[in-house]
Structure 1
Amino acid sequence: MLPAATDGYSGLCRDFSWDIPEFYNIGVDACDKWADDPARLALIHRRADGTRRDYTFAQMRRLSNRFANVLARHGVRRGDRVAILLPQCPETAISHIATYKLGAIAVPLFTLFGVDALEYRLGNCAARALVTDQAGARKIAEIRDLLPALEHVYVIDGKPDDCLDFKALGYEASDDFTPVATRADDPALIIYTSGTTGQPKGALHAHRVLLGHLPGVEMSHDLFPQPGDLMWTPADWAWIGGLLDVLLPAWHHGVAVVAHRFEKFSAERACELIAEYGVRNAFLPPTALKMMRATPPEQLGAHRCALRTIASGGETLGAEMLHWGRETFGLTINEFYGQTECNMIVSSAHSINVTQAGSMGCAVPGHDVGIIDETGVEMAPGRVGMIAVRSPDPVMFLHYWRNEDATKAKYIGDWLVTGDLGMKGEDGFIRFVGREDDVISSAGYRIGPGEIEDCLIAHPAVRMAGVIGKEDPLRGQIIKAFLVLDDPVRDPESLTRDLSDFVRTRLGAHEYPREFAFVDTLPMTATGKIVRRALRDMA
């Protein structure tokens, strides 16, 4: 999608133009167009027992055609919702591709969701069919009576009561299926927000969302694809980061993906996987990088990895993490920014010198990203305001599912407002300040937590940090830091003084935490973001 980078970032922006056809289908683009080559590798599945099975695009076309026929035979039609409650595995990809080719709407669901979260999402979207495994089927059995729209539950590893055998039905189905001629603007996918700002909302995306992601994926992986590229992420494919930052963009380009998600992330095992399979491109969320950074180098084994690129998004990284990435992997981690409703709109790209410590990068070609005030007027460079994206934009969602009021509230004029604060420099680099409700107002200063967290994790005693504002009668708010330490604290008072001086010296007297709490873990969303609302409740 990006033009040749013969003239750096400015040339990419100058020469870029969108090519969105009237008729477009994700399933055809990401799978079927490559399937005429019987040997072209699509997926490397590392099973839980460590064994490997490879799938070609030809096999994925055949298997997805079979499941599309199964769905059609059971009455699933264009526009119906098909929920997918599975980890990273071939059946997840097969279910997505089949759903898109049928013209139905895929609804990915995270396997760690409890029954209340599943009931809300399945009920809200009125899913007609669900694909899951036996672990998921046991959860669904508890709430099945509360989901009148849910007619069919397909299980990939057996056939519990009131469920259907995914594999047996697939074996019986025809390999031949004619994909529905969907338009680029037809609905394809509902991804529920992670719920950090209230009740989760279903962001409805069109088929064009894959095309909209391509420039950002290509930029964040230093002009992806390059010969020999192979992608992997520990992020679950139920989230936009796993599905549309890795799996589907890689397949658009005919690049194979490694499928394996650890039940519990291990920095050492992640490096082992990267080295064993020759992964060249990884999307590693900030939490994964922080865990890697906290692992002793001799235990981590990063020297065995031959990564070409690491991209990361979800939380700002900061200068300390970027320095660690260069020292450890011999590359510059490319940070990117976006959200479920409008993703991959800002990115770094070391290969074309779009890298600046403390910045997320610049607007990805094709996206008009501005810093605006509450009336929709763009702010002057260097001023803090709301990060916003001008519509229309191919990567932008259609609307929130059955939530017209929330959709309207997402816009100021033709700007989609992210809910995050940032500022843009004269050079176009955009800096993340914090979520609108995360910014700390202390003694007249507006302070973003990200910079303080980055400073704190540079201290040798600190593994992870979460910073919030705590109400204070004198200052309005004071800065409080919640810290996970590398080793148990023996002298809290001495460490607190040391940490305060560390931040005061490096950042400024108005930005050092006046209170500290030493904790075993930080509350995180399923996508690895710090839940500062929970920290405020703890304060």
Structure 2
Amino acid sequence: MSAGTQRSTRWPVITKDTGSLRVKPNLADYEAERAAFTWDGVRRALAGLPGSGGLNIAYEAVDRHAAGHLAGTEALRFVRADGSIRSLTYAGLAGDTDRFASVLRTLGIGRGDRVFSLLGRSPELYTAVLGTFKNASVFCPLFSAFGPEPVRQRLYLGSGRALITTRALYRKKVAPIRDSLPELRFVLLVDAEGNPEPGTLDLAGLLQAAPPDQPIAATQPEDMALLHFTSGTTGTPKGAIHVHDAVTAHYATGYFALDLHPDDIYWCTADPGWVTGTSYGIIAPLVHGVTAVVDEEELDVDRWYRILAEHRVTVWYTAPTALRMLMKAGAEKAAGYDLSALRFVASVGEPLNPEVVLWGRDVLGLPVHDNWWQTETGGIMIANYAATPIRPGSMGRPLPGIEAALVARDANGTPVIQDGEARLVTGPGAVGELALRPGWPSMFRGYLNDEERYRRCFAGGWYLTGDLATRDEDGYFWFVGRGDDVIKSSGHLIGPFEVESCLMEHPAVAEAGVIGVPDPVAGEVVKAFVELRPGPEPSEELRLDIIGFARKRLGPAVAPRLLDFTTNLPKTRSGKILRRLLKSRELGLPEGDLSTLEPAVGERS
């Protein structure tokens, strides 16, 4: 995840008249709340598994509500393509998730087994997530726009035992790679309609035959619950492990950062294929017992305004890309809809322009509250709050229970450690690597099967985020830049190595380097620089063919939109492509230290 751009004095601080707010903010006194806060205090607000002393995300999100006065309250409200609604109450969701857990048990899928999904925002996805938790299995969501290779890679690395998907997605993205996944025992189709594909099962039929009211498996706070894959700049995707105790942080951050109240109608636009869509599209709102709106379609300006208006959404959590698209459509679009129910708007996923914060104030009637976190943190770490001033461009201040600092880095970008302790950067405007003191409940507990990579994330008593930031005199953090090359496009995190590897599978491509280039709507788009094998010549036809090849394999969200041919990619002497240099040359920025550059560097053609 990422937050706003660097602080600029030309953007006015947005102050709040808390007395005029429709609902009393949950966090009214920032300093007092931080001083009094404990994670054990949050845990006391949860129920815990009856009789076992354990903790299970699904029980906290569904069953404790279904057993009480919220049983008949809407938990999930699905908006279909035609605008019709399918709703699930907390009681109904409890029954559906019980049946899903029963299906897993019947198939012999048990504690710790990995259950993957490749679905859009359908009711079956939400049932699968929560039912998997009830079975003490581990859920791993995949983005439905992934191509076959990203799907194969994650299923293989995660030792996926079961996959829930649709007939069309199975045929296009799973069937071609099924033979390379010997551990994938079961593929459950949500739309088989009694006639599943060969080698698959009809999920609806299995659910109909499954008994309801099954006991939730006894899980402990440190039991593994979620596996979220996140791309790095080198190597394979990393499987970040999260445990059932993460629900403690989801509850706290939903309360403080999103200001959730019992009567809220809440809409998180993120796809559950990404961590935001799981943590804040499913878990946090349900733990708070609110009604969560789910749009089964993709972004459309009029549709989104219509949903906000017709469903009387009160709290809206979305992405800067979406907000920029609404801005681009013009203020007159918003003027045609009654958005008076909205009381809080928040954003995450990439840098949030100060202009967007002020556009929200002027057009929506509410400023946009930026926040910052990562897949590895599992939940919001730094935020702008309902009752506190906003400094447009700032990611805000750390949540209660979160200690953040800036760690000094040497000339090579390595954290400075002295006598076992990280040296911290202090003073307004000083740049350092954003770091967090370990110990919050949603902190990832490891990278699957890669302890060494996990260990490198910590130094001198801190978790190192890889993002560079500054902090002003009042404790607000300001995003400066990333310490690696991960591309953030329309809220998606894209690892260059994954894209480069795919491009090199094209028969005409010898090598490839991939960077993100600025885009006014998406934040960044993927651009590739390609060296050709002997024989093929650069042409517009070949350019389009390579892009099309990548789109077919990786999906449109990950594949490059732009492609240049080059005769010599800049590399280090050890052969590592210098993406930093590619980006500097593309954007006309200073090239920096070239001491490690390979001697002969060609120019782009």
Amino acid at match of 1:90: P
Alpha-carbon distance in structure 1 between the residues aligned to 2:585 and 2:128: 40
CA offset digits 1:431-471 (Å, max 9, x no partner): 111102479xxxxxxxxx99xxxxxxxxxxxxxxxxxxxxx
Which residue number corresponds to residue 187 of structure 1?
224
Q: Which runs of 5+ in 2 are unaligned?
A: 1-23, 409-414, 489-515, 522-553, 563-578, 588-605
Structure 1 residues 6, 318: closer, same or farther in 2, change over 3 A? closer
Structure 1 residues 482, 311: closer, same or farther in 2, change over 3 A? closer
Which residue number corresponds to residue 297 of structure 1?
331
Instruction: Give the counterpart of 2:384 among 324, 327, 348.
Output: 348
1:258 aligns with 2:261: no
Which residue number corresponds to residue 274 of structure 2?
239
Alpha-carbon distance in structure 1 between the residues aligned to 2:146 and 2:555: 14
Structure 1 residues 260, 437: closer, same or farther in 2, change over 3 A? same
CA offset digits 1:412-431 (Å, max 9, x no partner): 13211111001122311111
| 1:301 positional shift | 4.4
Pairing 1:1-16 to 2, within 5 Å after superposition: 8-16=29-37
Amino acid at match of 1:33: R
Which residue number corresponds to residue 33 of structure 1?
64
Cα RMSD between the aligned structures? 2.9
Alpha-carbon distance in structure 1 between the residues aligned to 2:244 and 2:347: 24
Which residue number corresponds to residue 69 of structure 1?
102
| 1:538 positional shift | 5.6
Amino acid at match of 1:131: I
Amino acid at match of 1:268: D
Alpha-carbon distance in structure 2 between the residues aligned to 1:11 and 1:72: 47
1:54 aligned counterpart, secondary structure: strand
CA offset digits 1:448-496 (Å, max 9, x no partner): x99xxxxxxxxxxxxxxxxxxxxxxxxxxxxx975559xxxxxxxxxxx
Structure 1 residues 537, 23: closer, same or farther in 2, change over 3 A? farther
Amino acid at match of 1:379: V
1:173 aligns with 2:204: no
Which residue number corresponds to residue 285 of structure 1?
319
Structure 1 residues 329, 525: closer, same or farther in 2, change over 3 A? farther
Alpha-carbon distance in structure 2 between the residues aligned to 1:537 and 1:171: 59
Structure 1 residues 15, 45: closer, same or farther in 2, change over 3 A? same
1:419 aligned counterpart, secondary structure: strand
CA offset digits 1:18-69 (Å, max 9, x no partner): 1246621001111111112441211111122321111111111111111111
Instruction: Give the counterpart of 1:368 among 389, 403, 427.
Output: 403
Amino acid at match of 1:278: R
CA offset digits 1:336-388 (Å, max 9, x no partner): 10000003100001x32142122110000011111112122221122110001
Alpha-carbon distance in structure 1 between the residues aligned to 2:474 and 2:557: 34
2:100 aligned counterpart, secondary structure: helix
1:325 aligns with 2:371: no
Alpha-carbon distance in structure 1 between the residues aligned to 2:357 and 2:25: 26
**TM-score, length of structure 1 as denominator length:** 0.79
C-alpha contact (below 8 Å) 2:269/2:281 kept by paired residues: no
Amino acid at match of 1:29: E
Alpha-carbon distance in structure 2 between the residues aligned to 1:237 and 1:313: 14
| 1:270 positional shift | 1.0
Which residue number corresponds to residue 456 of structure 2?
409
Structure 1 residues 481, 137: closer, same or farther in 2, change over 3 A? closer
Which residue number corresponds to residue 138 of structure 2?
105
Alpha-carbon distance in structure 2 between the residues aligned to 1:115 and 1:5: 44
1:224 aligns with 2:260: yes
Instruction: Give the counterpart of 2:246 among 199, 209, 213.
Output: 209
Structure 1 residues 88, 5: closer, same or farther in 2, change over 3 A? closer
C-alpha contact (below 8 Å) 2:233/2:484 kept by paired residues: no
C-alpha contact (below 8 Å) 1:9/1:354 kept by paired residues: no
1:17 aligns with 2:38: yes
2:380 aligned counterpart, secondary structure: strand
Which residue number corresponds to residue 377 of structure 1?
423
C-alpha contact (below 8 Å) 2:406/2:432 kept by paired residues: yes
Alpha-carbon distance in structure 2 between the residues aligned to 1:536 and 1:30: 47
Structure 1 residues 524, 379: closer, same or farther in 2, change over 3 A? farther
Amino acid at match of 1:171: Q
Alpha-carbon distance in structure 2 between the residues aligned to 1:6 and 1:127: 41
Alpha-carbon distance in structure 1 between the residues aligned to 2:373 and 2:280: 11
| 1:233 positional shift | 2.4
Q: Which range moves more in the overlay, 231-240 or 300-309?
A: 300-309
C-alpha contact (below 8 Å) 1:228/1:280 kept by paired residues: no
CA offset digits 1:276-333 (Å, max 9, x no partner): 2111111111100111111122234464223111111122223211111100111121
C-alpha contact (below 8 Å) 1:5/1:12 kept by paired residues: no
C-alpha contact (below 8 Å) 2:270/2:281 kept by paired residues: no
Structure 1 residues 425, 56: closer, same or farther in 2, change over 3 A? same
Amino acid at match of 1:26: I
Determine what percentage of the aligned residue pairs are the same residue. 34
Amino acid at match of 1:134: R
C-alpha contact (below 8 Å) 1:281/1:307 kept by paired residues: yes
C-alpha contact (below 8 Å) 1:345/1:363 kept by paired residues: yes
Pairing 1:439-454 to 2, within 5 Å after superposition: none
Alpha-carbon distance in structure 2 between the residues aligned to 1:407 and 1:232: 33
Which residue number corresponds to residue 495 of structure 2?
none
Amino acid at match of 1:360: M
| 1:95 positional shift | 0.5
| 1:219 positional shift | 2.6
Alpha-carbon distance in structure 2 between the residues aligned to 1:244 and 1:89: 17
Alpha-carbon distance in structure 1 between the residues aligned to 2:190 and 2:485: 42
Which residue number corresponds to residue 543 of structure 2?
none
| 1:527 positional shift | 9.9
Pairing 1:45-56 to 2, within 5 Å after superposition: 45-56=78-89
Q: Higher relative CO (CA 8 A, sep ≥ 6), structure 1 or 2?
A: 2
Amino acid at match of 1:176: D
Q: Which runs of 5+ in 1 are unaligned?
A: 440-448, 451-479, 486-522
Amino acid at match of 1:118: V
Question: How many residue pairs end up in the alignment?
Answer: 458
Amino acid at match of 2:383: S
Instruction: Give the counterpart of 2:466 among 413, 419, 423.
Output: 419
Which residue number corresponds to residue 164 of structure 1?
201
Amino acid at match of 1:236: D
Which residue number corresponds to residue 337 of structure 1?
372
